[in-house]
Structure 1
Amino acid sequence: MLCCFSCSKSIPRKPINPKPSTTLYKETIKKAISLNKIEDDKILQLIKNDSAKVYVQSSQGFWYTYIHKIEENAPIPEKGNEVIFEYEIRNLNDSILYSKEDLGIKSYVVDKEDFISGLQKGIKLMKIGETITFVLPSYSAFGITGDGNKIGINQSIISTVTLTNIK
């Protein structure tokens, strides 16, 4: 009896959990692109309405404008430097979400600590004494989760930062 069954062909089994459909991924990507386009359009409208300032788009996808620029050849923060700065966060309607007083003086070690990703990159453009306003799309700010308090999901923000020291 063992000989009869041992020669039969085995039938391959189908996986219990098949791979998820790639169409779900494609739909998610399309939705994200659509949301990013809406955010970018709002930011571009804000910049257009603020014609008194010159905004620069960074290669990382955020915009910035100098409020106070240092022209001299001064050092900029590098990986591992500790920077001391003050900042505030506003929404695109220019309403303050977190004031400088709310946030206090911030100490941050460049590229060694977790912080708002757009500001991590933006601070590396600054010299001591400079003040820059950054306009950050949600993917460079708090993303799809917000901060759980005043900043909503997929919300772009404006942050004005003054760099006071580099150690």
Structure 2
Amino acid sequence: MKIKFLSLIIIAATLFSCKTPEPRKPVSRSSGSFIKESIKRNQKLVAKEEKRISEIIQKDSIHNYISSTNGFWYYYNTKIEKDTLTPDFGDLVNFEYDISTLEGTPIYSRKEMGGREYKIDQENVFNGLRQGLKLMKEGETVTFLFPSHKAFGYYGDTQKIGRNVPIRSTITLNKITESDSLTKNNLN
């Protein structure tokens, strides 16, 4: 009899202790503070890099720097006045370049980088290089000062360029092959 009574008590306790399932409450709510902090941090970084670039430009009395609407600065080492052709979407360009610190300490030499071919806006290169090549004419050599967000950004290049490093790059555009002539050559 004790066993039956004990069994009934356990069953009754189990039934009365069970509750209907309740939905889980969120652990925390997103306030957006991380994003706001990230924006402030990036604004400070950009301002610091632009100040540094501005100081370099002010000290350099030899070159005439141009401020790009894309957020970087450049000057011509070799400027071609007669030709007006600049690369456009899909054009194949052949170029050589180097990468150094803003102060000019080499990171990658032209020899290390080698000659390169690139289809405008159809391959993966860093943002500043993509935009800089579009400003150039065949035969020109231009030196660019890129803030880190136009260079390799937060991740760097995972080799020699660290995170958030602004760079100087001197680029020579050797040849532009228009995409129309590329299409014609592929059809023949």
* TM-score for both structures, normalised by structure 1: 0.89
Look up the match of 1:103: 113
CA distance in structure 2 between the aligned counterparts of 1:72 and 1:15, rounded to whole angstroms: 69
Look up the match of 1:92: 102
Unaligned runs of 5+ in 2: 1-21, 178-188
CA radius of gyration, larger in: 2
RMSD of the TM alignment (CA)?
A: 1.7
Higher percent of residues as helix: 2
Alpha-carbon distance, 1:17 to partner = 5.2
Alpha-carbon distance, 1:82 to partner = 0.4
Alpha-carbon distance, 1:13 to partner = 4.2
Look up the match of 2:49: 39
Q: Select which of 72, 83, 96 maps to 2:93.
A: 83
The amino acid that maps onto 1:152 is: G
Q: Select which of 143, 157, 168 maps to 1:147.
A: 157
Alpha-carbon distance, 1:16 to partner = 3.3
Q: Select which of 102, 118, 132 maps to 2:128.
A: 118
CA distance in structure 2 between the aligned counterparts of 1:105 and 1:73, rounded to whole angstroms: 22
* TM-score for both structures, normalised by structure 2: 0.79
Look up the match of 2:185: none
Figure out how many residues of one structure are paired with residues of the other and give that number: 158
The answer on whether the counterparts of 1:74 and 1:128 sit within 8 Å (CA) in structure 2 is no
Unaligned runs of 5+ in 1: 1-11
Look up the match of 2:12: none
Alpha-carbon distance, 1:20 to partner = 2.1
